[in-house]
Amino acid sequence: MQFFIIVLLVCFIVFLYVLYTLVKDDFVINRKNISIESIFNTAFLTAISALFFSRLFYVLIYPEPIFFKVLGFFLFPYFPGLSLIGAALGGLIFFLPYLRNKNIPMGKAIDIFALSFLSALPVGYLGLIILTGNSIRSMFLFIIYVLTLIVSAKLIFPLSLRGKLKDGLFGVAFISFLSLFNLLASFLNKKPYIIFNVENILFLAILILSLLFIFYKEFFDKSSR
């Protein structure tokens, strides 16, 4: 239990550090006079929403009697079970309306938060490998997220900073990669029926929608100008 909490805390610290590094020198954020405090408030509130929905999705997808008790639901370190897709959707449910309400540039914030979250994912999967053993699925995701982080930080995200990639597209691309990688990881599972569970159906739906959104922004918008 203690090690699980430590892994989550370390991931969140990495996320906040990368977030601070990206925000403090960002031209768009500074020009809008958006404070670091405002960005961090967004991060903490989004994290709370993501954690709640992560637990809620897991309980709904994998119902157990203990989860439907108050302590069983909220004491997830003792009764483990969190859903990555639930965290992503739950975070977005709060994140997007909050950005609009606070007049924070949505596209820029999505890109910055996406890279920050991506930076924490390899740490989380490394912790999972240490805690639960060297499973093929966890090792696959750890390696693929490390490679994705390197490519994103060195090649893709700088395009957004130079204005060669529309604000928000990097974040949407990250969501599509997140969905794709988890779908691919499901094929490494020894139980084929798990490929068609609720989480993977949601990942597939998000993958299709995010790719359609990228296609629309990159091609349809340009042709209509």
| DSSP one-letter code for 65 | G
Burial class (CB in 10 A: 0-12, 13-18, 19+), 20: middle
Supply the range of the domain harboring residue 210.
Answer: 2-223
pLDDT of residue 224: 42
Provide the pLDDT for residue 158. 87
Q: Give residue-wise pLDDT tens across range 131-163.
A: 777 678 888 889 999 999 999 999 888 888 777
**Residue 67: DSSP 8-state:** G
| Residue range 196-225, pLDDT digits in tens | 678 888 888 899 999 888 887 777 665 444
pLDDT at 191: 54
* Global pTM value: 0.86
What is the count of structural domains for the chain? 1
Q: Measured between alpha carbons, how far is 187 from 174 in angstroms, rounded to an integer?
A: 20
Task: Report the C-alpha gap between 115 and 112 in whole angstroms.
Answer: 5
| CA–CA separation, 34 and 37 (whole Å) | 8
